[in-house]
């Protein structure tokens, strides 16, 4: 089957995969500092070529990372880099990584 026909049939090989991670902050973190951490992480993810959707509060944030900014699926290497970067921030208490998938 030709590539154009496969794309018209909307097979999954042409969809970009995304993943989401949920991070919890240490208790007592101010809303302002939580916003700074969110912006730091978002800037780092954008530098990796990923688009970030985020929602949360001073207790924690949920990040959805999407590679459609460059029409590429995020790689496992990018996922590990971003997870380790988020873990290195002193404000982050725990991370729940849901892995790659189609959202």
Contact 53, 66 (CB under 8 A): yes
The string of DSSP letters for 42-99 reads: HHHHHHTT-EEEEEE-SSEEEEEEE-TTTT-PPPHHHHHHHHHHHHHSTTEEEEEEEE
Question: In this predicted model, what pLDDT tens digit does every residue of 19-30 receive, in sequence order?
Answer: 778 889 989 888
CATH of 14-101, one of 3.10.180.10, 3.40.50.10190, 3.20.20.120, 3.30.70.100: 3.30.70.100
Give the start-to-end residue ranges of the domains of the chain.
14-101
Instruction: Provide the mean pLDDT of the chain.
Output: 79
The answer on pLDDT for 69 being more than 70 is no
103 three-class SS: coil
pTM for the model stands at 0.73
Q: CB-hemisphere CA count at 13 Å for 103?
A: 16
Averaged over 81-103, what is the pLDDT?
Answer: 81
């Amino acid at each position: 089957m030709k590539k154009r026909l496969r794309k018209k049939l909307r097979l999954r090989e042409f969809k970009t995969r995304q993943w989401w991670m949920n991070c919890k902050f240490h208790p007592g973190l101010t809303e302002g500092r939580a916003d700074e951490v969110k912006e730091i992480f978002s800037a780092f993810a954008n530098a990796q070529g990923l688009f970030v959707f985020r929602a949360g509060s001073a207790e924690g944030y949920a990040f959805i990372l999407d590679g459609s900014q460059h029409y590429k699926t995020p790689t496992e290497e990018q996922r590990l880099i971003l997870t380790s970067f988020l873990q290195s921030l002193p404000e982050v208490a725990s991370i729940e990584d849901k892995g790659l998938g189609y959202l």
